[in-house]
C-alpha cells in the first residue's frame, strides 16, 4: 500500500535537510533501514553527519535504523528523525 506520512526533522537533521517537516509517500510495510534510505535519497547531506547516530520515532516509539522488522505506516503518521542530543 502507498501511504503518506509526515516526516519531522529535529536539531541537526533539520539543519542538514533544510526543512523541519515534509510529506513523503512510502510503500508500507517498510523496514526502518529502507525508510532511512528513502530519506537519504531526499536529503543526502544527512548521511555524512548522522549515519549510525540517528534513530527514527514512529508514533512516538523509537525505532533503530537497522531494525529489520516491518513497520506498518498509516496515512498521516508522523516519522521523526531524531539525531543524537548533545550534552552540556
**pLDDT tens digits along 54-66:** 889 999 999 988 8
Distance in angstroms (rounded) separating the CA atoms of residues 74 and 6:
10
Please state the separation of Cα 52 from the chain's center in Å: 13
| pLDDT band (50, 70, 90) for residue 69 | confident
pLDDT tens, 3-55?
Answer: 999 999 999 999 999 999 999 999 999 999 999 999 999 999 998 777 778 88
Of residues 49 and 82, more confidently modeled: 82
Neighbours of 17 (CB within 10 A): 20
Alpha carbon 66 to its chain centroid, in Å, reads 12
pLDDT at 4: 97
Q: Cα–chain-centroid distance for residue 85? A: 16
* Domains (range + CATH), the chain: 2-72 (3.10.20.30)
Amino acid at each position: 500500500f502507498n501511504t503518506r506520512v509526515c516526516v519531522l526533522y529535529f536539531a541537526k537533521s533539520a539543519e542538514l535537510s533544510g526543512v523541519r517537516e515534509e510529506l513523503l509517500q512510502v510503500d508500507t510495510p517498510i523496514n526502518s533501514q529502507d525508510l532511512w534510505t528513502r530519506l537519504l535519497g531526499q536529503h543526502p547531506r544527512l548521511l555524512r553527519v548522522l549515519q549510525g547516530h540517528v534513530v527514527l520515532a514512529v508514533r512516538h516509539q523509537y525505532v533503530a535504523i537497522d531494525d529489520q522488522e516491518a513497520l506498518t505506516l498509516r496515512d498521516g503518521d508522523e516519522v521523526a528523525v531524531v539525531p543524537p542530543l548533545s550534552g552540556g
